[in-house]
Chains A and B, each alone.
Chain A
Amino acid sequence: MEINIQKRVLEANDTEADINRKFFKELNVFVLNMMSSPGSGKTELLCKTLGRLMPDVSVGVIVGDICTTNDADRLEVTGAKVTQINTDQFGGDCHLAAPLIISSAKKLGCEDLDLLIVENIGNLVCPAEFDIGEDARAVVLSVTEGEDKPLKYPLMFRVADIAILNKIDLLPYLDFDAGLAVDNMKLVHPQLPVFEISAKTEEGFEPWLEWLKIKVFEKTGR
Chain B
Amino acid sequence: MHEMGIAQQLVQIALAAIPDDIENPKVEKLNLRIGKLASVVEHSLTFCLEIITKDTPLENTVLSIDVVPVRVHCKTCDNEWEVKDSVFKCPFCEDGDVEMLTGREIEITSLELTD
Chain B residue contacts of A151, Cβ below 8 A? 85-86
| A3 x B2 contact (CB < 8 A) | no
Instruction: Please tell me which stretch of A21-29, A70-78, A111-119, A125-133 contacts chain B, meaning at least 4 of its Cβ atoms lie within 8 angstroms of it.
Output: A125-133
Contact of B113 among A1, A4, A91 (CB under 8 A): A1
Chain A residue contacts of B89, Cβ below 8 A? 186-187, 190
Interface of A is mostly: mixed
| A186 x B96 contact (CB < 8 A) | yes
Assembled-state Cα–Cα distance A49/B19 (Å)? 54
Assembled-state Cα–Cα distance A1/B57 (Å)? 14
A126-B2, A155-B37, A191-B97 known; A6-B107 Cβ under 8 A: yes
Q: How many A-B residue pairs have CB under 8 A?
A: 100
**A 174-194 contacts with B by CB, 8 A:** 186-191
Instruction: Please tell me which stretch of A7-15, A40-48, A162-170, A199-207 contacts chain B, meaning at least 4 of its Cβ atoms lie within 8 angstroms of it.
Output: A7-15
A29 CB to nearest B CB, Å: 26
5 contacts between A and B (CB under 8 A): A4-B110, A7-B108, A9-B108, A12-B9, A155-B38
B residues with CB within 8 A of A: 1-2, 4-6, 9-10, 12-14, 17-19, 32, 37-39, 85-89, 95-98, 100, 104-113, 115
